[in-house]
Amino acid sequence: MPSAAHRGPLPAFARTIVVGAGLAGLELVDELARQGGDDILLIEAGGADDLRHVNVAHDARTALRLWLDSRTDPAFTRPWTSLTPPHYGGSSGMRRRLGGRGLYWYGVTLPIEPWALAEPWWPRAVVRDLTESWRGGPSLYERVGERLHTWTHRHAPGSAPAPRPPETHVGALHLRPTPMARRLASDGGWYAYSALDDWRDPLTGTWRAAPRGVRLLTATEATHVLVRDGRACGVSVERRDGAPQEIAAEQVVLCAGTLQSSGLALQALHDAGADGPVELHGLADHIVQGVFLRLADEQAQRLNQVLPTGSYYAPCAPGARSNLFVDVHGEEPDGSVVVEIRAMGEQLDQDSSRVSCTPGERRPWPLAVRSRPSDADRVLLRSQREAITECYRQLCGAVGLKERALDFSDYEDPGRGNDFALPENLATARPGEPVTWCNQLGTEDHEGGTLPLGGVLDDRHEFRAVPGLYAAGPATFPRLGAANPTLTTLALAHRLAALLAERTGSTTRQNRSR
């Protein structure tokens, strides 16, 4: 266990404070320390009782339940009110623990598509750094991709790289193996990449050490950013058993997840004198729907010849703003095989989706979320259903199964969510009978867009209205695209780490010259 996270007085100062120890916060701190940053304080509201990925710490069924049935996860919390249920209700929430959602992540590493990662939405400098060249060398996507490849294939006792299925066709549909940063444990579990692997043993959770120059506080909530003379100068924190305390800093970075970071940002913008309502627009999540299909006997055997066990993907037609995924799960005890076809797409026309705060004496201020599918999103839903139906049709033809009509429910009031994948629900699916499902907004846990680069933030990740305050994670994406956000989150964390290291070094040199 990281003893520094639990004992001793709180520090009075840190050069850099990073709020939130999920994928973005950990990667940022790890890379900033690697680039020579020092006196970094990482603050996490959750605990550090178990530092393993859920699919290492638990059997497959328990891990799946912790993810899909959030009520069973002690780390789950929802620190906001949904004004538009069922969206951002149900299983939508945070995982307050050191490692955050990264300890539930499935490891998918797709880049944002060129139709979304482009001007005028994204700043040209950011697009260039991600896709073309970073500081005269390979692009950030290339650099981080190589880092993840090295991590996946490194020699590590007790685990091995997860095998990739072959590229294949199902009828006219071209399917590629889904790129993943994932390793298999020798006991049958698996885990996805996290910067925590440099800090602890991923199989046992045994703590090693934080990087040099990094201090860690867990079970400590940052209630608000300190703003003086219009500039961020630290944070106010509360431990579960203590009074509020201020910690000064030269720079503060918000990495607490899109909604939590948005709440902290709204308070800071208000304290800095920003005019207008206490709200942020642009909130978006991925829109996801799909179908489960159980195959048995001859159809299951044919499926194994066409699509071996594994995860596959294919981009949908450009106008659909979606990717299609086909996951073939391992053989069930009765010999049947479950196939999942799903489409993941970009929520768009986001002006009606927003995060707001109600000012009051106690911090943090109450947080509320408003989000519904737009007219453009309803067009996307129809396009996704066409893509899913066509994939299902091709699959039926490949395995010799009689095709049935797919009955998609109302996205605003669905009969089934992706929790249908829980064993007791999936067991009710009869061989050959397709079962459709869809997620509501906020339940895919890919929300972003409230603190966009080139908008609320400049292209150096700093708040235009609050100097000294920065943000990382999907909240900074001007558009989500259809891809899982993690590869871009990691790449932008590396970009911000370099910028902060430069700024810190410059400040240090200035101070020494006085």
**Domain of 148: which CATH number?**
3.50.50.60
Q: Which of 414, 438, 462 lies at the terminal end of a domain, its last residue?
A: 438
When divided into structural domains, the chain yields a total of 2
Query: Which residue(s) pair with 183 in the sheet?
Result: 161, 191
How much is the pLDDT for 414? 78
Q: Is residue 175 part of a domain?
A: no
Name the pTM for this structure.
0.95
Nearest CA to 438 out of 292, 219, 293 is that of 292
Q: Is residue 464 part of a domain?
A: yes
Q: Which residue has the tokens 């995924």?
A: 325
Residues 29, 151 within the same domain: yes
Residues 144, 255 within the same domain: yes
How much is the pLDDT for 415? 81
Side-chain-facing half-sphere of 183: CA atoms under 13 Å: 23
How much is the pLDDT for 512? 38
Residue 171 to residues 311, 313, 353, Cα–Cα distance (Å): 17, 15, 39
Q: Is residue 358 part of a domain?
A: no
How much is the pLDDT for 8? 62
Residues 132, 216 within the same domain: yes
Q: Are 289 and 388 in contact (CB under 8 A)?
A: yes
Give the pair of three-digit tokens for residue 185: 């444990």
How much is the pLDDT for 5? 56
Q: Which of 385, 409, 438 lies at the terminal end of a domain, its last residue?
A: 438
Q: Is residue 174 part of a domain?
A: no
Residues 118, 255 within the same domain: yes
- Span 130-161, pLDDT tens digits: 999 999 999 999 999 999 999 999 989 999 99
Q: Which residues of the chain have pLDDT under 50?
A: 1-4, 6, 506, 508-514
Q: Are 425 and 419 in contact (CB under 8 A)?
A: yes
Q: Are 43 and 18 in contact (CB under 8 A)?
A: yes
Q: Which of 438, 471, 493 lies at the terminal end of a domain, its last residue?
A: 438
Residues 412, 297 within the same domain: yes
Residues 202, 303 within the same domain: no
Q: Is residue 314 part of a domain?
A: yes
Q: Is residue 304 part of a domain?
A: yes
Peptide bond into 202 cis (omega under 30): no
What is the span of the domain harbouring residue 108?
Answer: 3-78+93-161+180-277+445-513
Give the pair of three-digit tokens for residue 202: 């991923």
Q: Is residue 360 part of a domain?
A: no
How much is the pLDDT for 105? 95
Residue 240 to residues 43, 221, 223, 259, Cα–Cα distance (Å): 13, 8, 12, 21
Residues 479, 462 within the same domain: yes
Residues 203, 74 within the same domain: yes
Residues 233, 319 within the same domain: no
Residue 229 to residues 150, 273, 315, 513, Cα–Cα distance (Å): 45, 10, 49, 25
Query: Which residue(s) pair with 471 in the sheet?
Result: 254
Residues 114, 156 within the same domain: yes
Residues 126, 223 within the same domain: yes
CA angle at residue 394 from 347 to 327, to 5 degrees? 55
Q: Is residue 86 part of a domain?
A: no
How much is the pLDDT for 3? 47
Residues 344, 387 within the same domain: yes
Give the chain's length: 514
Q: Are 214 and 40 in contact (CB under 8 A)?
A: yes
- Span 479-514, pLDDT tens digits: 999 999 999 999 999 999 999 999 876 454 344 333
Task: Please state, in angstroms and rounded to a whole number, the distance separating the CA atoms of residues 387 and 405.
Answer: 14
DSSP annotation of 221: E
